Amino acid sequence: MRIFASAAAAALVIMIPDIAGAVNFYDGARAPDGLYFLTYSSVYTAGKLTKAEELLRFCYYSRDFVATALLPAGGVRVGSEGKNSRGLGDATAGAGYFLPIKEVDALPMLFVKIPTGEYASDKSTNYGTHQVDIRPVIFFSKTINDFSMDAAIKYYFRLKNDKDISPGDELHLQYLLGYNVTKNLKLGPSVNWMMGSERRTLSVGGDIYTRIRGMSFSFTYLYDTHAENAPKGQYFQLKSCVKF
Residue 80: per-residue pLDDT: 62
What are the extents of the domains in the chain? 8-243
Asked whether the whole model's pTM tops 0.85, one would answer yes
- Residue (of 40, 17, 46, 9) closest to 27 by Cα position: 40
The rounded distance, in Å, linking the Cα atoms of 1 and 166 is 9
3-state secondary structure of 3: coil
Q: Which residues, other chains included, contact 140 with Cβ-Cβ below 8 Å and sequence gap of 6+? A: 28, 104, 105, 106, 107, 149, 150, 151, 152
Q: Measured between alpha carbons, how far is residue 158 from residues 68, 134, 220 in Å?
A: 20, 7, 26
Closest by Cα among 206, 201, 222 to 16:
201
Q: Are 177 and 189 in contact (CB under 8 A)?
A: yes
DSSP of 9-63: HHHGGGGS--GGG---TTTTS---SEEEEEEEEEEEEETTEEEEEEEEEEEEEET
pLDDT per residue as tens, the chain (244 positions): 333 333 333 344 445 555 447 899 999 999 999 999 999 999 999 988 899 999 999 999 998 999 999 999 998 888 766 678 888 989 999 999 999 998 999 999 999 999 988 887 777 788 888 889 999 999 999 999 999 999 999 999 988 776 777 778 999 999 999 999 999 999 999 999 999 888 899 999 999 999 998 899 999 999 999 999 888 999 999 999 999 9
Q: What is the pLDDT of residue 167?
A: 75
pLDDT at site 10: 38
- Fold (CATH) for 8-243: Porin (2.40.160)
